A and B are shown apart, each in its own frame.
Chain A
């Protein structure tokens, strides 16, 4: 080694391994993206190839054309997914931010009881409550509406918990000062609490976006009409069911379109998310 340029072997090995493992984790996603751009001739090459040679948009055309000639166009599924996801994210943010303020900052009776209930509901999956939720939705005649796919998911325990934990560290003197200046609680909420909650709101948006966008379950259960189904269901249909590999190119193109938004939302929100998650601690 040249003097003065000491090479730290331990550190390099560490970076090498961590990077290799990181790339290995990304590999399935890269493969999917590459498949989405493969021309038909390359899809069934033997031996199989990881990367495309001549990239093409053909699969995306196919996706819009082929499924367009069936009775529900693919864009309809995208539209449905967008409506439901935006509903869950937007509605959830309003409902949780409103509730997080008093739960974190007001000293009313039953406050800790309500907070404990939220912690308690972190401990089981909402999937175990699907039967009564389904009965409620079908009995009030909401089947095949967007609302049915939205309202059961608005009161999310994980998002609510994070929001309250984050709101707890809003400095009390700030709120006091506003009260002395004669601001009402509503005014305080809008002009102080909401701006300070921004990182928690971004985090809530990320988590509920991922959940709502990826979950095939609401459309599977609350929608019986094909034109109310969502993107995950459409992708299942294209794939031809479990274990079947049919129309790989279109399937990969659809999957690619589905995964891109979640990654984008994460890249946009990541800084604020890490800020929020620092307050995610749970104590008995």
Chain B
């Protein structure tokens, strides 16, 4: 890297291009331009290499593998659309996993998103010196590890009289017998939703918080002159439009967060969960990839999840991305 320190190329300024014969073609212009910026590419190189190896190439490999049978021992064998046919026609557990993931995401996604925004907005109404306390209260849960927190959830939702919720519910006479929260098929998804919502005030929440603190005071003053009386009016007509870019960023992360539910489910109900009631798309993927080592089939699952995330995010962009 020391040699680059002495180079005097000035990226961003126009230098006369090397004289070519006649009119330089578009390609050679581009090439000259690239050569002129070789230092910029050198800065980018480590990131680009890693990004290509661990993100770009894997996307194509996944798509390729999804059309094959591959068990890690023999080399992959092309089998056309069989994996997908199997997934959508014969694999009842996968269809169930899609249903569970969507059920989960339809609640955690919007509720977590709105909750994060409203809490950030409420915090922005608080005097600056108290803000950190509230930020810490709401943000800390999202930086805890699902594994570490399971000690609390297993106690809270324990299926015997010693579980905290059961204890109080029995005492107050709401139920007559302890309820098996983590074994009962009907309560597994709601429990996972509650725990995930608790953990959902993450990067998006911080983005909202920062965005809200930087909405200019003049906008609010102008709004007051234009006849805005209530806080909610102010929120709708001034605050939300001002933080739209942060809202979009938060929404994109929220879609990914709510569809990649895996950790919490595995920690609380295991793989496989009772009657597959906590089985999500990622659980299914993990099961086939790293327990059964059917990489081709697992890749097909990955491709489906990838497309669902991309599709939803395209919708979000269409909806929130307009100015």
Interface residues of A (CB under 8 A from B): 14-15, 18-19, 21-23, 25-26, 28-29, 31-32, 35, 44, 46-48, 94-96, 98-99, 101-103, 105-109, 114, 117-118, 121-136, 151-152, 154-155, 157-158, 160, 179, 182, 184-187, 189, 207, 210, 213-214, 216, 220-221, 232, 235-236, 239, 241-245, 248, 251-252, 254-256, 258-259, 262-263, 266-267, 270, 273-278, 280-284
Contacts and interface: CB of A to CB of B under 8 A. Distances in A.
Contacts of A21: 137
Contact of A108 (B33, B135, B147, B289): B33
Interface of B: 1, 4-12, 30, 33-34, 36-37, 39-41, 43-44, 46-48, 50-51, 53-59, 61-62, 65, 122-123, 125-126, 132-141, 143-156, 158, 161-162, 164, 167, 182-183, 198, 203, 206-207, 209-211, 213-214, 243-246, 248-249, 252-253, 255-256, 259-260, 262-263, 266-271, 282, 285, 289-290, 295, 298-299, 302-303, 305-306, 309-310, 313, 317, 321-323
A274 B46 contact: no
Contacts of B123: 18
A267 B210 contact: no
B5 A187 contact: yes
B11 A243 contact: no
Contacts of A267: 136
B43 A189 contact: yes
A102 B50 contact: no
Tell me which of B58, B125, B243 has the highest count of chain A C-beta atoms within 10 A of its own C-beta: B58
Q: Looking at chain A's contact residues, is the secondary structure mostly helix, strand, loop, or mixed? A: helix
Nearest to A31: B152
Given A26-B140, A266-B139, A278 B4 contact: no
Contacts of B305: 124-125, 128
28 contacts: A25-B137, A26-B137, A29-B140, A29-B152, A35-B155, A48-B155, A102-B41, A107-B11, A121-B51, A123-B309, A125-B256, A128-B306, A129-B55, A129-B302, A151-B54, A157-B55, A158-B203, A186-B5, A232-B147, A236-B267, A241-B270, A242-B150, A242-B269, A242-B271, A245-B158, A251-B151, A275-B210, A281-B211
